[in-house]
A and B are shown apart, each in its own frame.
Chain A
Amino acid sequence: MKFGVVVFPGSNCDHDCFHAVKHVLKKNTEFIWHQSTNVAGFDCLILPGGFSYGDYLRTGAMAHVSPVMKAVKKFSAGGGLVIGICNGFQILLESGLLPGTMMKNTCLHFLCQHIHLVCQNTRTPFTNTLNEKQVLRIPIAHNEGNYYADEKTLKELEKNNQIVFQYCSSGGAVRPEFNPNGSKMNIAGITNKDGNVLGMMPHPERAMEKLLGSTDGVGVFLSIINYLSGEKI
């Protein structure tokens, strides 16, 4: 089993993702520079957080045309697992691998805080070790986390169980007052229709060790490992 952490110019959560999978979960992990067009041999690709291309033009807008993204698209079309975290999620949206877009947080400032997420679908490669409605405490750190899609797309996401994580209270209540950035339907994470591509704004790789204040991110990566090990979801 091999994980690949894609690195764009300006990515800054690549080392945290690498540490999470290689050192905490002891899985074979390599960095993939964005100029590479070869992702052969990898089982899961991680698009990490950061400020790829300085967020110039729009967040994720230029990274989505990096040479590596052609390979990522082909990889995901073949069923390979892709997880985009924060800027990684933004890149997946700009590349069309996930529907919708990100806008500036409605509060208009950068948010750096722990929030609660509720898992609404445990039947994905990214959440199969979690319990239905399990609440996770995970940090966010973003200026553009306000997820937007039109009503037709939102209805599709709901119908296909693609809404995997929603911002909520510590008790799991999904209400506007627990939505930090104004995203539609408190959406914090979605998958594509086939369920093999996940984008999430919160940072599970920053919630892997007790020392950092939460280990609630472990479940996301353990689920991927579980799925790749051939465990039935």
Chain B
Amino acid sequence: MWLAEIFVTPKKNILDPQGEVIKKTLGHMGYKKVADVKQGKYFQVVINETAKPTETIKKMCAQLLVNQIIEDYTFKLEKIK
């Protein structure tokens, strides 16, 4: 069994209004030194395979989990019981 942790973030050149609003709100709360905030997504996918499913994860990201026009992603794979 494998646990895939997938981290999805807006691409650098894409305006992230949600991140901007969160940064402003943090500022109102007193966190004046926040330089930037980006809001992304996190997926946990447990896969029942023996071999490390790197290519499977990449395909899942390309076909569904990630909008590759406006999002980047990285992932970690960990063998679990």
Q: Is B34 an interface residue (CB 8 A)?
A: no
Interface-forming stretch among A3-11, A76-84, A98-106, A114-122?
A98-106
Please measure, in the bound complex, the distance between the C-alpha atom of A180 and the C-alpha atom of B67, giving whole angstroms.
23
Q: In the complex, which residues 1-55 of chain B have their Cβ closer than 8 Å to any Cβ of chain A?
A: 14-15, 17-18, 21
Known contacts A101-B69, A101-B70; is-contact A108 B21 (Cβ 8 Å):
yes
Q: Are A100 and B17 in contact (CB under 8 A)?
A: no
Picked from B18, B64, B69, the residue with its CB within 8 Å of the CB of A108 is B18
Picked from B17, B63, B65, B70, the residue with its CB within 8 Å of the CB of A106 is B17
B19 to chain A, nearest CB (A): 11
Q: Is A1 an interface residue (CB 8 A)?
A: no
Task: Using CB atoms and an 8 Å cutoff, list the residues of chain B in contact with chain A.
Answer: 14-15, 17-18, 21, 63-65, 67, 69-70
Q: Are A104 and B18 in contact (CB under 8 A)?
A: yes
Chain A window 196-227, contacts with chain B (Cβ cutoff 8 Å), 1 for yes, 0 for no: 00000000000000000000000000000000
Q: Are A148 and B70 in contact (CB under 8 A)?
A: yes
Q: Are B17 and A108 in contact (CB under 8 A)?
A: yes
The 9 A-B residue pairs with the shortest CB-CB distance, nearest first, are A101-B69, A108-B17, A106-B17, A101-B67, A101-B70, A58-B67, A148-B70, A108-B21, A104-B17
Q: Are B14 and A57 in contact (CB under 8 A)?
A: no
Please measure, in the bound complex, the distance between the C-alpha atom of A149 and the C-alpha atom of B70, giving whole angstroms.
9
Q: Is A150 an interface residue (CB 8 A)?
A: yes
Picked from B64, B65, B69, the residue with its CB within 8 Å of the CB of A100 is B69
Q: In the complex, which residues 57-96 of chain A have their Cβ closer than 8 Å to any Cβ of chain B?
A: 57-58, 61-62, 65, 94
Please measure, in the bound complex, the distance between the C-alpha atom of A159 and the C-alpha atom of B32, giving whole angstroms.
46
Q: Are B69 and A65 in contact (CB under 8 A)?
A: no
25 A-B residue pairs with Cβ-Cβ distance under 8 Å, sorted by A, are A57-B64, A57-B65, A58-B67, A61-B67, A62-B64, A65-B63, A65-B64, A94-B67, A100-B69, A101-B67, A101-B69, A101-B70, A103-B14, A103-B70, A104-B18, A106-B15, A106-B17, A108-B17, A108-B21, A148-B14, A148-B69, A148-B70, A149-B69, A150-B69, A182-B15
